[in-house]
Amino acid sequence: MRLTRGIVCECSGASACPDGSNNGTCTTQVNGYCFATVEEVETDAGLVELERTAGCLPPDESGFMQCKSSQVPHRHPKVIECCNSSDLCNRRLQPRLPAYPADPLPPALSPAPAPGPQPALLVAAALCLALVAALAAALLLCRRRRRAGKRPPSPPAAHLAEISSGSGSGLPLLVQRTVAKQIQMVESIGKGRYGEVWLARWRGERVAVKVFFTTEEASWFRETEIYQTVLMRHENVLGFIAADIKGTGSWTQMLLITDYHERGSLHDYLQTAVLDPPALLAMAYSVVAGLAHLHMDIFGTKGKPAIAHRDIKSKNILVKRNGQCAIADFGLAVRFVAERDEVDIAPNTRVGTRRYMAPEVLAETLQVTDFEAFKMADMYSLGLVLWEMCRRCGAGGGAQHVESYALPYHDVVPADPSFDDMHAVVVVQRMRPPVPARWARHPALAALAALMAECWHHNPPVRLTALRVKKTLAKFHKDCDVKLV
Ligand code: ADP
Ligand code: MG
């Protein structure tokens, strides 16, 4: 059923009620749903209790909480039911955990073969036994899950334990799980290849929650792992808050909670924003500073491994309120383990976004055993991002003479270019984005034009490093300060 307004829902339970919900109700967005869940929770005393939660769900919940999960058969820790038929319809929802199978009961005690009619007593006894068996099974399941450790194939919860043990960056695992339980989804703000990103609230603060598509567990795992890398935090890297994964079998919910940036991705921002030269320089500098931090390794026992991003593009860079950027989306990143002199996962060659792929990635000549090669490929993509920024920079004087926003190679390849399209342009013809004549007339644009050309050079070792670009921009900014402001 489609409604033209939101509906009012019962709202109860620890994590379901958004701020401002009153009298135990909340109102959904148009086409939203009411939901009710029942979940097994473990009390402090180690007992298993059932907890009911009710609240509002946004429309198109695409994998976030799966309204159909109650059809999953046995031994399910959580069941959800949804409705949108009328206001407060979820008051009538009574989701029940499916009964545990009766097989733990010895045949002699099973109610089935009871001869003759001794009804009430037998039924009561059987019910009691079933309850005891169910509780025992639940406890057993809980304990087994806790012990699951690193045994493959491990349930999703064990992954989180693996990731957080010993990594040292980010909140402790239990705190992360609590945070994940306390968030309230507000609205969907972006979609990428691996998931959908939501604006959410956590204790009155705005946060971003990436909800991974159920098929993308590996991507959630990788991104969480990277964010928990020691010394990963930097003002130009998206700030990680928490990760959580719950569910079993066909019901899995994987979340990644980070800082929220209302200006969205650089790609979206540049569509409408026009930058003045100081703003362009500050923005370019911040992206390069973020990338230099990722690429850098810091030696020592609590050192930081070098990280290559492998999917640098304007959609994976966020714009902060102060005009600086934060690099995001680490689903494809690789780390270099200096002690073992190796890349931490088996990297496949052709990953990333085709439009931004370096010539050696397109030609499949990138040496995957050489970590520097991944950094050089990042630098090529960064060159393209700098070009996207420069087009939106007006050189002052009032007249906003800028180029319209465009993706790199927008004029020579189709909207969703194939490998072959990109290969023909970037490798065979060795084309690069055009530099407008007006850029030469402005020091900041001219300087960046020179830098981007050295970033997207065909020959990877000739490209500048992130640290080099960062230093050059810092110096330029200092020298030109008087002219620029
Ligand atoms: P994917 O791995 O699916 O590509 P991303 O992490 O790149 O997911 O996020 C997809 C989009 O969601 C981004 O391009 C951006 O528009 C938006 N987005 C992601 N994280 C945030 C955030 N923290 N604040 C604001 N918008 C965000
Ligand atoms: Mg992305």
pLDDT value of residue 31: 82
Instruction: Report the mean per-residue pLDDT for the chain.
Output: 81
Listed range (78-92, 150-164, 203-217, 266-280) with the worst mean pLDDT: 150-164
Measure 27 CA to ligand 1 centroid, in angstroms.
26
pLDDT value of residue 185: 95
Residues with CB under 5 A from ligand 2 (ion): 192, 316, 329
The ligand minimizing its distance to the Cα of 265 is 1
Residue 9 bridge partners (DSSP): 26
Nearest Cα residue to atom 15 of ligand 1: 265
Q: How far apart are CA 307 and CA 10, in angstroms?
A: 46
pLDDT in tens, 4-41: 788 888 888 755 666 556 578 888 888 888 888 777 66
The band of 45, judged by pLDDT with boundaries at 50, 70 and 90, is low
Q: How far apart are CA 215 and CA 405, in angstroms?
A: 33
* Contact present, 327 and 316 (Cβ < 8 Å): yes
pLDDT in tens, 47-71: 666 777 788 887 765 445 556 554 4
Pocket perturbation via mutation, ligand 1, pick of 185, 189, 269 by most ligand atoms within 8 A of CB: 189
pLDDT value of residue 134: 58
pLDDT value at 123 more than 60: no
Q: What is the mean pLDDT of residues 321-340?
A: 92
Q: How far apart are CA 439 and CA 273, in angstroms?
A: 18
* Contact present, 380 and 455 (Cβ < 8 Å): yes
Measure 195 CA to ligand 2 centroid, in angstroms.
9
Nearest Cα residue to atom 11 of ligand 1: 190
Nearest Cα residue to atom 8 of ligand 1: 192
The band of 116, judged by pLDDT with boundaries at 50, 70 and 90, is very low
Considering the chain, what percentage of its residues have pLDDT values greater than 70?
72
pLDDT value of residue 101: 43
pLDDT value at 319 more than 90: yes
Q: What is the mean pLDDT of residues 455-469?
A: 98
Q: Residue 344: which of 301, 297, 394, 376 has the closest Cα?
A: 297
Nearest Cα residue to atom 6 of ligand 1: 329
Q: Exposed/middle/buried for 349, CB within 10 Å: 0-12, 13-18, 19+? A: middle
Q: How far apart are CA 406 and CA 217, in angstroms?
A: 33
Residue 317 bridge partners (DSSP): 327
**Max CA distance (Å), the chain:** 101
Catalytic residues: 311
The band of 159, judged by pLDDT with boundaries at 50, 70 and 90, is low
The ligand minimizing its distance to the Cα of 264 is 1
Measure 192 CA to ligand 2 centroid, in angstroms.
5
pLDDT value at 368 more than 50: yes
Q: Is pLDDT larger for residue 303 or for residue 483?
A: 303
Q: What is the mean pLDDT of residues 144-155?
A: 40
Ligand 1 atom at minimal distance to the Cα of residue 331: 2
The band of 317, judged by pLDDT with boundaries at 50, 70 and 90, is very high
**What are the helix (H) ranges across 273-335?**
277-295
Considering the chain, what percentage of its residues have pLDDT values greater than 90?
49
Listed range (6-15, 178-187, 367-376, 450-459) with the worst mean pLDDT: 6-15
Does the pTM surpass 0.75? The reply is no
pLDDT value at 455 more than 80: yes
Q: What is the mean pLDDT of residues 411-418?
A: 97
pLDDT value of residue 269: 98
pLDDT value of residue 103: 37
The ligand minimizing its distance to the Cα of 196 is 1
Q: How far apart are CA 382 and CA 123, in angstroms?
A: 71
pLDDT value at 282 more than 60: yes
The band of 105, judged by pLDDT with boundaries at 50, 70 and 90, is very low
Which residue carries 């130009």 as its tokens? 236
pLDDT value of residue 63: 43
pLDDT value of residue 75: 42
pLDDT value at 142 more than 50: no
pLDDT value at 251 more than 90: no
The band of 110, judged by pLDDT with boundaries at 50, 70 and 90, is very low
pLDDT value of residue 233: 94
Domains of the chain: 8-92 (2.10.60.10), 162-259 (3.30.200.20), 266-480 (1.10.510.10)
The band of 76, judged by pLDDT with boundaries at 50, 70 and 90, is very low
Measure 451 CA to ligand 2 centroid, in angstroms.
25
The band of 79, judged by pLDDT with boundaries at 50, 70 and 90, is confident
Measure 40 CA to ligand 1 centroid, in angstroms.
32
Ligand 1 surroundings by CB, under 6 angstroms: 189-190, 192-195, 197, 208, 210, 238, 258-261, 264-265, 268, 315-316, 318, 328-329, 331
pLDDT value at 402 more than 50: yes
